[in-house]
């Protein structure tokens, strides 16, 4: 398993938000999307990443871009995570790992000599037609949100 290819376009998807309501990717047509996958709500790295994207949300909105984080956590966990950290981004649940597996971010990982499957921190920038314009694999959290914003501005300037 792993990201052995990068899709050129992301098919439409429907996932639940923290209110347990369906969020459809088609509703974001016409906007650019930062689609980032993360392992688990409430962990240090995932909290930092969500807070960093949230702190830059006004800059992403100026670029007519939606920031969506996806993990296999349940909607109730997302709700607690959002409220505790006052997050300004959209978090979606993929507990069945449909989109997570389809995009190849469910991968064999290793920690303390133990192997297990989990989400490999990955970020996609999608243009207004859901075309993949840029991908980061095995993301390092520090500085990542700013790097994504910089790349987004560059891509939009060169489209």
Active site amino acids: 46
Report whether 124 contacts 132 (CB < 8 A): yes
CA distances from residue 149 to 16, 109, 153 in whole angstroms, order as listed: 25, 28, 6
Residue 77 to residue 126: CA distance in whole angstroms: 26
> How deeply is 124 buried, as exposed, middle or buried, from its count of CB atoms within 10 A (0-12, 13-18, 19+)?
buried
């Amino acid at each position: 398993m792993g990201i052995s290819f990068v899709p050129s376009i992301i098919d439409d998807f429907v996932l639940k938000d923290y209110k347990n309501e369906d969020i459809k990717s088609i509703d974001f047509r016409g906007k650019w999307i930062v689609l980032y996958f993360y392992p688990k709500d409430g962990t240090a790295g995932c909290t930092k990443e969500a807070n960093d994207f949230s702190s830059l949300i006004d800059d992403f909105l100026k670029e007519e871009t939606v920031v969506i984080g996806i993990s296999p956590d349940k909607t109730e966990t997302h709700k607690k995570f959002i409220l505790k950290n006052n997050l300004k981004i959209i978090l979606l649940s993929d507990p069945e790992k449909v989109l997570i597996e389809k995009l190849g971010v469910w991968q064999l990982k290793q920690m303390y000599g133990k192997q297990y499957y989990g989400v490999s921190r990955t970020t996609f920038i999608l243009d207004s037609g859901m075309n993949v314009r840029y991908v980061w694999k095995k993301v390092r959290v520090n500085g990542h949100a700013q790097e994504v914003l910089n790349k987004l501005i560059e891509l939009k300037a060169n489209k």
